[in-house]
Amino acid sequence: MRHTFRHLQKFLFLAAMLVALPSHALDHVTLQLKWTHAFQFAGYYAAKEQGYYREAGLDVSIVEAVPGVDPVKNVLEGSAEFGVGTSALLLQRKTGKPVVALAVIFQHSPYVLIARQLSATQTIHDLIGKRVMLEPQADELLAYLKKEGIPLDRITQIEHSYDPQDLIGGKIDAIAGYATNQPYYLDRARFAYQIYTPRSAGIDFYGDNLFTAEQELKTHPERVRAFREASLRGWKYAVEHPEEMANLILAKYSRRHTRDYFLFEAKQTIALIHPELIEVGYMNASRWRHIADTYADIGMLPHNFSLDGFLYDPNPRRDLTWLYRSLAATLLLSIVVAPLVVLRKSKQMNRQLEERVASAQQTLATSFDERRALEISNAAANERERIYRDLHDDVGAKLLGLSISAQRADLPREADMARSALQDLRDVVSRSAQPATPLGDLVADWRAETEQRLHHLGITLNWQIPAEDMTMLVSTEAALNLSRILREALTNVLRHAQADKIVVDTTLAQDCLMLSVEDNGAGLPKDGAKPHRGMTSMGTRAAMLGASLSWQAVEPHGCLVMLKAPLASLSYENAAAIKINLS
């Protein structure tokens, strides 16, 4: 009896131990941040606190950085499996450091130079001879200075203290900083400042990027995939719940700043992520190519620098060697069997030839009706062309005369309205005469027209040059709607915003055309104010394109109009196919 009782004790003990053991041990990894805890890294906190990492089988430690910490060094040396870096990862790659970009979080970089405002007309060239705080990771700011023709030996470089009070107190003249957080303290100190962004010089780099080492990807590909997916899932949660994330950061990660500060940072950060337009984590190989070429143009990278192995592919192509071998065997078999089939096929072809002769006779009988229909269609087209020509010669001449008269009378805005109406008329006439227009030509026409409009009004235009291939043919109707949306957006700025600077950006992403117009004017109408008629018209035209259209306030003042139009709805080929199906 006593012997049986001892066996029962041992059994119960082992059962309790098995219950206590986890069914599957979590894989521990470390994420090295590039700075101290802030909303800048909110997506990773969300992935951890919402249990996304745990669901992926990962136990993640999130390590903040302090001045002097190099995330790339820590990842390559193995103290962290993953890190957060900038577009300067390309420069690290060039020096032989095997880093791999896994995902882009910020579609635009927050890096800027912030200077004390001494006059309304000052430019970045006023920094020559001044004291400027630069930080080690701000390579794109060095590229910006170099592209603007400002050698580093023409400024006095000061080691960065990361304290905006040094700028406010006059210890230095300018600082490198993030547009997402530095203005918070400057605004509250009522300090007058000027922001210089690399985007004004065509340097539009990606911001924060998630990266790892080649060795980690080679050794643990499934772990890399799981960490990336869980992180992006966390970022989607963070951008949808900014207030909750601000509370979480205060409760568990950092009390260096106030809740108001984190909410300010959240708003600016989400604007750089563009979750309403682009899926979080999306990165474009052509955009990386453009970044590498920009570095090459200013001597920081060799020309045609290879991106092989640098960009992570979450959906790698499968090895189809077996398929190719099967196809080759099938082809060989068909060559052997073909002579046996030829005789049988020849009889079928004779029958088909007889059927085709009969069909041709039927077609000939109806050809007269089709020819008559074609003659009627050509006559309608000629009449339409005559109407367009009369409109151009009569109404167009009057609008041109009105524009010249308004300009001579020193009425620039009235002259602009007349020029805009004249351009609308020319669009209708010219676009109607051709079935399609290459997207690149359309963008070039927009830029030339916009430069001419703003030149007469003394407004600065910064047109971001697209890096993507824009040879796609755009249908006439889509081209007219796009042109009028852009023209109306610019007209609204000229009539209501009182701006002195406009930034226009056109790019291709996620099979969509992204078109944005940003100004530094008075901003959106006050809450409750009736929308301008032009805004309603823009929305109607966007709906006709199957596009989304949004207006956003820009800090500290201004407005951003953003259009996202599916390329499928713009394509001439699709429009032609629809017309054929309808007919």
- pLDDT tens digit sequence for 197-239: 998 888 889 999 999 999 999 999 999 999 999 999 999 999 9
Select from 433, 451, 470 the last residue of a domain.
Answer: 433
- 329 domain residue, yes or no: no
Supply the range of the domain harboring residue 379: 345-433
Nearest alpha-carbon partner for 307 in 90, 84, 82, 85: 90
Does 473 lie in the same domain as 412?
Answer: no
What total number of domains does the chain contain? 4
| 166 located within any domain | yes
Which of 433, 463, 487 terminates a domain? The answer is: 433
| Same domain, residue pair 472 and 535 | yes
CATH of the domain at 283: 3.40.190.10
Residues 6+ apart with CB under 8 A from 65: 32, 33, 34, 35, 36, 71
- Is there a single domain that holds both residue 258 and residue 226? yes
Do 463 and 532 lie in one domain? The reply is yes
Strands 131-134 and 174-178, bridge-based pairing: parallel
| CA 307/CA 287 separation, integer angstroms | 11
Is the same domain home to 460 and 583?
yes
For residue 513, is it within any domain? yes
Q: The domain that contains 454 carries what CATH number?
A: 3.30.565.10
Distance (Å, rounded) from C-alpha 234 to C-alpha 241? 11
Residues 188 and 226 in one domain: no
Are residues 218 and 290 located together in one domain of the fold?
A: yes
Residue 542 · residue 562 · CB < 8 Å = no
Instruction: Give the pLDDT of the chain (583 residues) as one tens digit per residue.
Output: 455 545 555 544 444 444 444 446 899 999 999 999 999 999 999 999 999 999 999 999 999 998 788 999 999 999 999 999 999 999 999 999 999 999 999 999 999 999 999 988 899 999 999 999 998 777 889 889 998 999 989 999 999 888 899 999 999 999 999 999 999 999 999 999 999 999 888 888 999 999 999 999 999 999 999 999 999 999 999 999 999 999 999 999 999 999 999 999 999 999 999 998 889 999 999 999 999 999 998 889 999 999 999 999 988 765 555 444 655 555 555 555 555 554 565 566 666 666 775 665 665 555 555 565 556 555 555 555 555 555 545 565 555 556 656 666 667 666 666 666 666 665 555 545 566 888 888 888 888 888 877 876 778 888 887 767 778 888 888 888 999 999 999 888 888 888 989 999 998 888 899 999 999 998 887 765 556 667 888 888 999 999 999 999 888 889 999 999 999 888 877 655 544 444 4
Among 201, 227, 255, residue at a domain's last position: 201
The answer to whether residue 325 sits within a structural domain is no
Asked whether residue 309 is domain-assigned, the answer is no
**Same domain assignment for residues 583 and 542:** yes
Q: Is residue 217 part of a domain?
A: yes
Q: Domain check: are 176 and 214 in the same one?
A: no
Give the long-range contacts of residues 218-221, CB within 8 A, separation 24 or more: 220/81
Note whether residue 337 is domain-resident. no
The reply to whether 278 falls in a domain is yes
User: Does 42 share its domain with 126?
Assistant: no
- SS3 for 396? helix
Q: Which residues contact 340 (CB under 8 A, 6 or more apart)?
A: none
Determine how many CB atoms are found less than 10 A away from the CB of residue 477.
16
Tell me: do 78 and 118 sit in the same domain.
no
Q: What is the pLDDT of residues 432-471, one digit of tens each?
A: 556 688 888 888 888 888 887 787 677 888 888 776 777 8
96 & 223 share domain: yes
**Half-sphere exposure for 309 (CA within 13 Å, toward CB):** 14
DSSP one-letter string for 366-387: HHHHHHHHHHHHHHHHHHHHHH
Crossing angle between the packed helical segments 259-273 and 221-240, to the nearest 10 degrees: 120
Cite the DSSP H helix spans in 172-320: 182-188, 214-219, 221-240, 242-248, 259-273, 285-297
Cα–Cα distance, 83 to 213 (Å, whole number): 9
